[in-house]
Amino acid sequence: MSSYSVRLLIRCTGKGQPRQVPLYEDRLVLVRASSHDNAKAKAKRLVAQQMVPHKNVLGYMVRWRVIKAYESVDLFADEFEGGKFKDGAQVYWRYMHSSNHAKRLKHEGTMNALYRE
C-alpha cells in the first residue's frame, strides 16, 4: 500500500445557499491505498461519512457533499518514519509556470483567505 494526497471538491447545499455563486471547499486528505483510483474512491467515501448536516450562521440547515475527487499525488515513502509523517513531510505539490505566482493562485482560488505573502 502507498500513501496518497487526494484533492476533493466539496459543495455546500441547502436552503439559503446562493445558486448563482455556490460555495465550494477544496480539500486535501491523506489516505493509504493500492492505486490512484482506489485512493480517490477511499477519500470520497471517508469524507462523505464525515459530512453531517448542520445549521449555518444564518440558521439554515446545510450539507456539504463531495462532488469529485479530482487529483491524487503518490507520496514519497521516505516522508514517513514508523508509519507516521515526518515533520515537514511533503504531502502535495504541483508545477506551474507563472511570472506572478501569488496573483495566479488567488485567481485560481487555490489560496486560503489567511494567506500572507
Mean pLDDT along residues 9-14: 87
Cell output for 86:
515526518
Q: pLDDT category, 39, cuts 50, 70, 90? A: very high
User: What are the boundaries of each domain within the chain?
Assistant: 2-76
H/E run at residue 61: strand 61-74
Residues 33-58: b if buried by 16+ CB within 10 A, e if exposed: beebebbbebbbeebeeeeeeeeeee
User: Is the model's pLDDT at 62 over the cut of 50?
Assistant: yes
- Global confidence as pTM: 0.75
